[in-house]
Amino acid sequence: MNVFLARHGQTEENLSRIFQGHLPGHLTEEGRRQAVALGESLKDIALDAIVSSDLQRVVDTVRLAVGDRGLPWEKNALFREIDWGSWTGLPIDSVDRSRLPADAETPEMLYARAGRCIEYLRAHYAGKSVLVVAHGQINRNILAQVKGIPLSRLKEIPLMKNASVEVLGL
């Protein structure tokens, strides 16, 4: 299976430096341009399907990138960004980041969910060429899982830039 792992375009919330998490998110003008450029970079690649987060910033990115290709498209909450719990919507600099709130998804939980994302793709899209569009933190964890990098070394993998793509063989 070939996976083209992409991140959504830039959002207003990215620029405002807030914990976006499960918020829908609103693409900026630049984010919309990035999504169109993502589509251009993929136009000559034969894709069989799209799997994406169900959050609006990703849905908008996919529509701008590949909306007219008529590909089967599965929106799946498994591919959502980390759940920041009660930090969702707060400015990043307004909290003590050394202690997550009790209702947030922990790094261990996110890393395990990334493993489930990979298992899901293998179970449902074996032998296919799939575009997966999601978010910075879940994508970083997916990449770590694929590369065999343990959670303790996660920071070795940089966050993907908005609307960038990593090609993975699974």
Q: State pLDDT tens for residues 128-149.
A: 999 999 999 999 999 999 999 9
Q: How many percent of the chain have pLDDT more than 90?
A: 98
Q: What is the residue type of 73?
A: W
pLDDT of 68 above 90: no
- Kindly state the average pLDDT of the residues 117-121: 98
**Per DSSP, what are the bridge partners of residue 6?**
133, 165
Element (H, E) at 100: none
Instruction: Kindly provide the residue ranges of all beta strands, DSSP E only, lying in 8-155, ordered along the sequence.
Output: 49-52, 73-75, 129-134
Q: Are 129 and 50 in contact (CB under 8 A)?
A: no
The pLDDT of residue 67 is: 83
3-state secondary structure 65-83: HHCCCCCCEEECHHHCCCC
Specify the pTM. Answer: 0.95
DSSP SS3 for 103: coil
What confidence tier does 170 reach under pLDDT thresholds 50, 70, 90?
A: confident
The pLDDT of residue 134 is: 98
Residue 134 CA to residue 97 CA, distance in Å, equals: 23
Q: Are 86 and 60 in contact (CB under 8 A)?
A: no
